[in-house]
A and B are shown apart, each in its own frame.
Chain A
């Protein structure tokens, strides 16, 4: 019988990794054949279900990296090895690249998790990868050490307070890389996931330097499979759970709300 991504499957927690004071990675026992950029709906019965980016699916394990910021994620942080959670998915579009390209991955905060997953795939394809991670402080940086272990990956770090790497924004590192790239080592594509203001910057730079970009547009999602309409973006009018989260630059430029506003669970607009 066909396995449906629209129905939850129970998955056992195999390992819990403390990434930082606020962030844990839950290693679930099993694969759902997710690809980089996709997300799952993680279900805690009796509480809620939330969309979570996939940090890795290697065919054996599923990694979900979660910050304890609200009631749901805090409840998730109480879970221990052996506990079961419900997973629906994978949902959404994927990051893509060609063999041997030079790529710039721009991650803000928790956006490092899905981009790490993509880096593992791009690394296998022999790409040269600039993995640029930004966070407020050193202890909030994610996936920098694991990414550094991948062949072809160079990690760049920016922190707001200068506690690690460049003091300032990760977009400044990206701009320097794009500026210094010559014809022989041009960056083929910028991949970005994180705060929307950062991704707006990345989109501007992609246009300025004539580079492609793939942008992970995150909106309030409910169903995950394109029927409830909750995550539709203005302009295109398409649900971002199936037409996104990953969208090419030219599609993102047709979304007038990008960088300006998003909607809550009632469909009401909120400015960034």
Chain B
């Protein structure tokens, strides 16, 4: 019997597989279904402090090699989020990571105060969406100063609202020159962990028969299997420097992929695009594959493999 549980900055998950932000997760009941399908926890879609419209359709396309999306982070605002999170809590014992986003600095403070009273296990700060670039994305994800400022703001807003003990993880962009420098700056600013990473890009796909970009937003963030080696490399670098809790997200499709992320340094592993590749029950499939691998390799505690690739290096 393999112990699959992991501990992320004091929060226990029955297994390390969590729903990545932006996939499914519009409603509390759909997040509960993800846990019934085998995940140890879920991440909500990014929550805004106010209503925010997404992009026109098509918002997501998929091939065997990649998924490209520009959903545009639609959200009805905190009132709806509160109701859905309460429904999730009533229906599920899975871990809850609440992802927040804003257009301006003040937005992050406002939404952090709101979610402080929504009983999150972990707060994940999205500073890195590549397809709403006017509002965020590059400005915050690329700047060590701005990324640290957002982190401090969220930490203090949570503390002011009585949720100072809720761990904060900052979701980093792979689309910057200095991933390690950004990681170091947000950790120094008080982040308890990191989510690595948001989608790549932005990229574009053109339908040659229509002679038009397919996504209504023209460009979108790239995810899926091809992204994994880039994420693994960044996790490897950051874990080597900081040994901090990391949610590894990007292209994980199988149990072996998830173990690879954990060996690089991830404690939790986000799964998103694989929902299309392997179905709604992909979470349980991955967990079962991880368990099988542990049994074959004499691993009794899955958590023991976190950062294993660094041992002796």
A interface list, Cβ under 8 A from B: 2, 4, 6-10, 41, 43, 45-50, 84, 86, 88, 222-223, 225-230, 232-239, 242, 263, 265-268
Contact = CB atoms under 8 A, between A and B. Distances in A.
A263 B64 CA distance: 30
B178 interface: no
Nearest to B274: A227
Contacts of B57: 41, 43, 48-50, 222
B31 interface: yes
A258 to B, nearest CB: 13
Given A10-B207, A267-B74, A237 B275 contact: no
Contacts of A265: 53-54, 74
Given A84-B210, A266-B74, A48 B26 contact: no
Contacts of B64: 2, 4
Given A10-B209, A232-B30, 10 more contacts: A7-B62, A48-B57, A86-B214, A226-B275, A227-B276, A228-B24, A229-B30, A239-B30, A239-B280, A267-B26
B280 A6 contact: no
A225 B64 CA distance: 14
B71 A228 contact: yes
A226 B276 contact: yes
A36 B280 CA distance: 23
How big is the B interface, by class?
35 or more
Contact of A266 (B25, B33, B51, B60): B51
Contacts of B27: 229, 232, 234, 237, 263, 267
The 6 closest A-B CB pairs, nearest first, are: A237-B33, A10-B209, A232-B30, A229-B24, A45-B212, A49-B57
B74 to A, nearest CB: 5
A131 B199 CA distance: 49
A223 B51 contact: no
B76 A266 contact: yes
Given A49-B57, A266-B74, A236 B62 contact: no
Contacts of B25: 229
B216 interface: yes
A197 B51 CA distance: 29
Contact of A9 (B58, B71, B209): B209
B63 interface: yes
B49 to A, nearest CB: 14
Contacts of B276: 6, 225-227
A46 B54 CA distance: 16
A239 B280 CA distance: 9
B75 A7 contact: no
Contact of B273 (A43, A227, A230): A227
Nearest to B208: A10
Q: Which of A227, A232, A236, A265 neighbours the largest number of chain B CB atoms within 10 Å of its CB?
A: A227
B66 to A, nearest CB: 11
Contacts of A266: 51-54, 74-76, 80
A187 B29 CA distance: 35
A2 B75 CA distance: 35
Given A10-B207, A227-B275, A242-B280, A235 B29 contact: yes
Interface string B31-72: 111101000000001000001111011111111100100010
10 contacts: A7-B61, A7-B207, A43-B58, A45-B210, A48-B57, A84-B210, A227-B276, A228-B23, A238-B30, A266-B52
Contacts of B51: 266
B273 A267 contact: no
B58 A237 contact: no
A229 B25 CA distance: 6
Contacts of B80: 266-268
Contacts of A86: 207, 210, 214
Interface string B270-296: 001101100010000000000000000
B279 to A, nearest CB: 8
A14 B63 CA distance: 28
A232 B273 CA distance: 17
B25 to A, nearest CB: 5
Interface string B240-264: 0000000000000000000000000
Contact of B59 (A46, A50, A228, A232): A228
A250 to B, nearest CB: 17
B54 A236 contact: no
Contacts of A235: 29
Contact of A227 (B24, B54, B58): B24
A222 B210 contact: no
A234 B67 CA distance: 26
Nearest to B209: A10
Nearest to B31: A237
Contacts of A45: 207, 210, 212
